[in-house]
Structure 1
């Protein structure tokens, strides 16, 4: 009697690849949709009801304006993966491996500095000074409330003969879990954390690549040429 042949081990399920984190500006997208709707309505109306060269001029203006509006509002995005940072700006697509990142800087704009000294702005993560001031005021209010709560708990604990202060466990709930931050500043903090965790890995090595967005530039240039021709021909 022969023993049954050993069965090969069942294949282990592969772990799903981690997806990129995508960051986009919601106000810019909303504004872009509104501008495109207005531009399309005015342009189509001019094409239908216009006379003479007006329909052709309207088409040329649409060919020029629509790609530019979409480029500055709908197109910008930042894709943060385990191995690289992909920056989709209005006219360029920049891929920066984490090992090539020198710093992620926030001032009046959010930028990526590479090891070679190049600088790329993150159009999809714009800096809002108003949001920063609002977050700072919220943090000041939270700190003031925490101090008032700690003071009341300290007085109550002293009267009851209990330990006071944060180490004694009183007033802990009144302290904020962390400093208030503007939305774009929190995004930059996440990108810095991902950079710190991944920039020394082997998969994060590579070269910086830059590709021009010809799908935006070509129709915009064509629209500009047509507008100039129609205006000169007059």
Structure 2
């Protein structure tokens, strides 16, 4: 991948940034410095120079499993909640239905060229996985659960404008969606990984804020809203 977490700070750095860090650390070889970290599994990474200028990148130091290598291996997908509260489920579904337009607008801002049909697919998956039934679910954070439910493929994008495949990940400690809310007030780090031909191209940290609820933006049409609610 072309970006990784700083060795000590919670921010992404590039290959060039890491070379500068190694120099400032008085290391004669870049990989002698403290390694950058994978934004998903948080294990140490090493740098590798590319075949041409600007092609340097990060790679894992070991061959252990990391979700970025196999998106289908995200453990929180496919595991429905064990304890279901019917009242909480109803309230969470109602929140989603009452804020569909705002949730849709937030997804548009973090998923390049998202198509409305992809949104429908997300809502169908949320129903299948019973996402609204998770204990302690904070419904305001639903957009950041929704994006992990499907892979965003170029041929499914709006007017097929998306050039890369996108997948969203939480750090590897998250084993079920319920884990996202175990530590109240501290939502797990969400990362968007961009792929090209199976290779990681770019890493983006997603700000999981709730300011989207305060913005007045264009709404979905009545027909689109009815379609969404029918799927939910």
- TM-score between both structures, scaled by the size of structure 1: 0.21
**Higher Cα radius of gyration:** 1
Query: Larger relative contact order (C-alpha < 8 A, sep ≥ 6)?
Result: 1
- Which protein has the bigger helix share? 1
Normalised by the size of structure 2, how large is the TM-score? 0.21
